[in-house]
């Protein structure tokens, strides 16, 4: 469900995708994400918003989790092709990167306990550890004599 710019999965936490006899190797975790619009998101099919959600593939047979993201454009009537990417894992034995696109469908319906879901998500967001930009270190600790330029020295971004 969507609450402002927040996308909140009605089912969170570990989802068992099937039994071991079905051939499924991974279970699934989908987390809350965000939605936004950009200039140019209007076309022949109408005005779309963009969505992005984190997910994790949890290997049933090992202590491995593969982290990824799912992104798709959508509006009140339809969803476009979804793009996914897995680029990180907590697994020494089974490492991989994977990306691609897949068909998606949209079925508009009410979400049971929507207000409770919104309130639980708002509480979780409100209880997160506060963050500040790196530049705040020098302001918050002026006596430390921090050289903020040193934090990124020697690092050359790859493009």
Over residues 90-122, the pLDDT tens digits come to: 888 888 889 999 999 988 888 989 999 999 999
Per residue, the 3-state secondary structure of the chain, as one string, reads CEECCEECCCCCCEECCCCHHHCCCEEEEECCEEEECCCCCEECCEECEEEEEEEEEEECCCCCEEEEEEEEEECCCCECCEEEEEEEECCCCCCCCEEEEECCCCCCCCCCCHHHHHHHHHHHHHCCCCCCCCCHHHHHCHHHCCCHHHHHCCCCCCC
Q: Tell me how many domains the chain contains.
A: 1
Q: Which tens digit of pLDDT belongs to each residue from 72-91?
A: 999 888 888 999 999 998 88
Instruction: Give the chain's mean pLDDT.
Output: 87
Does residue 10 fall inside a structural domain?
yes
> Residues 105, 110, 116, 121: what is their CA dihedral angle, to the nearest 10 degrees?
30
122 lies in some domain: yes
* CA-to-CA separations, 36 to 71, 84, 152, in angstroms, rounded: 11, 18, 30
- Is 47 contained in some domain? yes
The rounded distance, in Å, linking the Cα atoms of 64 and 59 is 5
Q: For 124-147, what is each residue's pLDDT tens digit?
A: 999 999 999 888 988 899 999 888
d(CA 89, CA 52): 19
Query: Measured in whole angstroms, how far is the alpha carbon of residue 130 from the centre of its chain?
Result: 19
Q: Does residue 156 lie in a domain region?
A: no
What is the Cα–Cα distance from 129 to 13, expressed in whole angstroms?
A: 20
Give a yes or no: residue 39 inside a domain.
yes
Q: Is 158 part of a structural domain of the chain?
A: no
Task: Please give the residue range of the domain that contains residue 50.
Answer: 2-151
Instruction: Please report whether residue 27 resides in a domain.
Output: yes
* Residue 157 included in any domain: no
């Amino acid at each position: 469900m969507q609450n402002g710019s927040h996308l909140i999965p009605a089912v969170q936490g570990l989802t068992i995708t099937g039994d071991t006899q079905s051939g499924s190797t991974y279970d699934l975790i989908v987390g809350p994400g965000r939605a936004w619009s950009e200039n140019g998101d209007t076309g022949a099919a109408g005005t779309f918003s963009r969505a992005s959600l984190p997910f994790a593939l949890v290997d049933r047979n090992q202590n491995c989790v593969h982290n990824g993201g799912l992104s798709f454009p959508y509006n009140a009537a339809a969803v476009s092709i979804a793009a996914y990417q897995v680029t990180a894992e907590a697994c020494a034995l089974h490492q991989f990167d994977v990306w691609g696109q897949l068909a998606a469908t949209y079925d508009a319906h009410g979400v049971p306990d929507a207000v409770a879901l919104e309130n639980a998500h708002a509480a979780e967001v409100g209880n997160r550890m506060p963050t500040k930009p790196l530049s705040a270190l020098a302001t918050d600790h002026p006596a430390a004599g921090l050289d903020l330029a040193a934090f990124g020295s020697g690092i050359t971004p790859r493009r």
